[in-house]
Amino acid sequence: MTESLRVLVVDDSALMRKLIPQILERDSSIHVVGTAMDGAFALKKIQELTPHVITLDLEMPRMDGVETLREITKRFQLPVIVVSAHTTQGAAATFKALAMGAFDFVAKPQDALSAHLESIAAELINKIKVAAHAQLTRIRVESDPVPHVRVRKTPQNRPPARKVIAIGVSTGGPNALQYMLSQLPADFPAAILIVQHMPEGFTELFAKRLDECCNIDVREAQSGDLLLAGRALICPGNRHMKVRRLPLGDIATLNDDSRVNGHRPSVDVLFRSVASEFGRDAVAVLMTGMGEDGAEGMNAIRSAGGLTIAQSEDSCVVYGMPKAAIERGYATRVVPLDALANTLQAQCLTERARATESKVRTGLEATRKCLEGM
């Protein structure tokens, strides 16, 4: 018989300490071994109860969640799912926790009544199961934060992008994206479109944090944003993102269509749109994350002549999304996280060289015809 997943619930709210175990133990594979009202109690109970996974509130008295997470990471190396307040302050603390080594997070409903907690029940259960079986060495390696340095950007008129890079990512994405995007130069010649599975209200702050430490421009997408070289647009939570090619410029568009693969935003929605509009000028990248969102959309880009890249298993926190594409034969290249930025730059430089060569060839042909006519 398979051993139940042992979970410790840490939250300063007595109501949450009652409701979270109730929703978790509906799954027969999960056993809540205990609860704790703050970090100090949590550290004692970890030693006593030896849980496999911890759910952690960040706003607690005495020892808050961030300090508790630091101790758990240092002393016990257990996967932690942050149960975050759905506020600006809660989002900021959540991103700090992810950088410190939290496995993933779920956002608390603004009203914590039992009926409202139902909205996160399946998500929390699924993430606990994935966290319990993830390799902790990956969690620690991927959670090492990139130094948070505000980049001084020189104002410039960015040109339209010749190439569009569409990225899909989920669990482990905030750290992986920060690591990769911070390595791209300010004059990166392609536009970047990103679907990160993340709740509404978190993506705006996430984009701002990335913008502060990257040489490229990073912003939360709005409908009508131009696709420009050296600009990354992050799809807002609870919206889908597509692209359109227009005479006055290529743009991103947002919509509220139904969920796809259980997600809004969905990577498949973005990838299929990019395949349809950009064809050979598209690059699809599937990074760390659970599930299969993006696999079929990647095939659409491959079929349209675009390049398809999947992050390598050894560099993923969770290998689900890249694995789905690789196993179906949709990924033409498999690249580790630390080589992704260079791979994208090399691809764009190759395209730039081809474009320059074509212009030179056209010029020489025109000169030859002119001389022949003399």
Q: Which residues are known to be catalytic? A: 170, 197, 293
Residue identified by tokens 């175990």 is 21
Helix (H, G, I), strand (E, B) or coil at 311: strand
Query: Could you tell me if 128 and 81 are in contact, meaning their C-beta atoms sit under 8 angstroms apart?
Result: yes
For β-strands 104-107 and 249-255, DSSP reports them as: unpaired
Query: Could you tell me if 315 and 292 are in contact, meaning their C-beta atoms sit under 8 angstroms apart?
Result: no
> CA geometry: angle at 93 spanning 90 and 94, to 5°?
85
User: From CA 332, how far away is CA 309, in angstroms rounded?
Assistant: 6
Residue 113, both tokens: 């009544």
Q: Which amino acid is at 21?
A: P
Residue 358, both tokens: 């074509």
User: From CA 123, how far away is CA 324, in angstroms rounded?
Assistant: 20
CA atoms within 13 A on the CB side of 80: 34
